[in-house]
Amino acid sequence: MTWVVPAGYALFLALIAYRYATRRPRLTAYPPQPTGPLISVIVPARDEAVNIERCVGSILATAYQPVEVIVVDDRSSDATPATVERLARSSAAQGRLRLVPGAELPPGWFGKPWAIVQGYRVARGELLLFTDADTWHHPELIPRTVTALRAERVDLISVLARQETVTFWERLVQPHVLVALASRVGDLRRVNRTRITWDAIASGAYILTTRVAYERVGTHEAVKQSVAEDLALAQSYVRHHLDIFLTHAAEFMSVRMYRSLAEVVAGWSKNLALGVPLMFPPIRLVRRAAPYLMWLPALCWIVPPVLWAVYGWGWGWAAATTVVSLAIWMTVYWAEGAPLRYALLYPLGAAMVAYIMIRSAIRGGRRVEWRGRVYRAD
């Protein structure tokens, strides 16, 4: 009977490999559209001096025209605004880049929705693109998503980018978080055009929408109190009977969310406790309990190797499960572009994710800290 456990893990390995091999839809299926209506690209930026030049440069290099890029400086304390002003004077910008100095954060707002709304207020485009400062865009990214938006006849399109991991902790932890989130989301074809509000998701790193639809849902002002504003915005679209569409785009976009263990812990702590409950049915008990339970699947990766280490080959099922688990994580790390040697440390990665999730549940639901601001959330 105990061999049922490693058999279950082997089945999960087959499912993981199948999912990676058959991920659909993919942005490669949509040919680039080089021209069309004006797109206003809005980039909220708070202390993004290390990222902003690469991000803006990649957007300005797009194969789509016409485009205007609006960087909203959200009260940065570093060289972010000076860098944008320098880029705006360059020949590459050609009058397409402008800096909007952000106003003080009003009561009741989270920083990112407030910055985006300020950019929207000066934007002229028929299409609006919200993207993060820690992203890199392939020249064909915008033209292909414009094609997808039109071809699929939807009101919002969001893409899943390749996660850049450089430091030890990024490479160890990020794949675990991505697998945990993917386990909840499942196949994007199930999510696209959903009419179940709590099933709707979007990636805040890249959201392209029509101005008409965005204004219909009340802009980001409608989600001003949400840390997970991308989830809340997607769900607002579904609530207004508008269609959303997600696609895999690792070939055309990358994002480096965090650069250190401290950023990994703080960043996911703010996102998980307030974002995960939105992905469950709107039942008070379920949503309250979700942040406190979401770490439990990590035990599936921690318990078998611990038992094997303690009891040795006497617990053969634990040894077999550990070997299959290693194969699972080698598949994940290979697919995510991380060095395979990090798969050997998968129990440590799972333990770190469990710690982040527990910390997120205990602290993040009431007090959120990010980029020098402290938010109080309901």
What is 31-161+203-257's CATH topology?
Answer: Spore Coat Polysaccharide Biosynthesis Protein SpsA; Chain A (3.90.550)
Give residue 196's pLDDT: 95
- CATH 3.90.550.10 range(s) for the chain read 31-161+203-257
- pLDDT, mean of residues 360-365: 72
Give the 3-state secondary structure of residue 102. coil
pTM here? 0.94
Residues 6+ away with beta carbon under 8 Å from 212: none
Structure tokens of 41? 């690209």
Task: Please state whether 146 falls in left (phi above 0), alpha (psi between -120 and 50) or beta.
Answer: alpha
- Is residue 218's pLDDT more than 60? yes
Residues 6+ away with beta carbon under 8 Å from 136: 54, 55, 58, 164, 253, 254, 255
Average predicted confidence (pLDDT) for the chain: 93
- Nearest of 98, 69, 102 to residue 85 by alpha carbon: 98
The pLDDT tens digits of the residues spanning 87-109 come to 999 988 989 999 999 999 999 89
Residue 356, CA distances (Å) to 104, 265, 272, 363 in order: 30, 6, 9, 10
- Nearest of 142, 135, 141 to residue 56 by alpha carbon: 135
Structure tokens of 118? 């300020």
- Is residue 311's pLDDT more than 70? yes
Residues 6+ away with beta carbon under 8 Å from 257: 134, 163, 174, 263, 267
- pLDDT, mean of residues 206-230: 96
The pLDDT tens digits of the residues spanning 271-295 come to 877 788 888 888 989 988 888 888 9
Please give the Cα distance from 327 to 312 (Å, whole number). Answer: 20
Structure tokens of 211? 């101005």
Residues 6+ away with beta carbon under 8 Å from 211: 123, 125, 126, 127, 128
Question: What is the residue whose two structure tokens read 């990090």?
Answer: 342
Asked which of 147-156, 172-181, 245-254 is least confident by mean pLDDT, the reply is: 172-181
Q: Within 13 Å, how many C-alpha atoms sit on residue 218's CB side?
A: 14
The b-or-e profile of 334-344 (16+ CB within 10 A means b, else e) is ebbebeeebbe
Residue 375 — very low, low, confident or very high, per pLDDT cuts 50/70/90? low
- Is residue 378's pLDDT more than 80? no
Question: What is the residue whose two structure tokens read 């990222």?
Answer: 51
